[in-house]
């Protein structure tokens, strides 16, 4: 699945989120915290990550943590399972939250 397809599907399925109502957790320099959020929110070893229509990937949990940590503080990243039923958002302010 290429970045454009992942972004298109995220646009269709990712729920609207009000940042003021999310329990955002600081993940800057804390890959173990990010991994815990991903594990609690998404029950899958394979994650889809969308940054924009040109940047996105299907990655394992460990690779997803590294990918998100390397792009943190620059853009919003949306993470989902392949079924688009479980979601995490990584905000540009180096925080993340699961969406239910």
> How many angstroms from the chain centroid is the CA of residue 64?
8
Domain enclosing residue 8, as ranges: 3-15+25-99
Residue 62 lies in a domain: yes
pLDDT at 17: 81
Domain assignment present for residue 20? The answer is: no
| pLDDT value, residue 49 | 97
Task: Work out how many domains the chain is built from and give that number.
Answer: 1
> Strand 87-91 vs strand 25-26: parallel, antiparallel, or unpaired?
unpaired
Q: What is the pTM of this model?
A: 0.91
**pLDDT averages per 10-residue partition of the chain, 100 residues:** 93 88 92 96 95 94 94 92 95 91
Q: How many other C-beta atoms can be found within 10 angstroms of the C-beta atom of residue 74?
A: 10
Q: Which of 63, 69, 88, 67 is nearest to 27 (CA)?
A: 69
- Please give the backbone phi and psi of residue 8, each rounded to the nearest 5 degrees, phi first: -60, -45
Provide CB contacts within 8 A for 57, sequence distance 6+: 3, 6, 48, 49, 63, 64, 67
Q: What is the per-residue pLDDT for 6? A: 95
pLDDT reported for residue 73:
86
């Amino acid at each position: 699945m290429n970045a454009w397809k992942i972004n298109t599907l995220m646009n269709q399925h990712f729920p609207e989120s009000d940042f003021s109502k999310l329990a955002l957790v600081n993940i800057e320099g804390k890959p173990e915290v990010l991994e815990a959020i991903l594990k609690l929110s998404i029950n899958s070893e394979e994650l889809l990550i969308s940054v924009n229509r040109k940047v996105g990937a299907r990655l394992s949990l460990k690779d997803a943590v590294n990918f998100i940590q390397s792009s943190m503080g620059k853009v919003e990243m949306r993470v989902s399972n392949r079924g688009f039923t479980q979601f995490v958002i990584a905000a540009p302010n180096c925080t993340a939250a699961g969406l239910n």
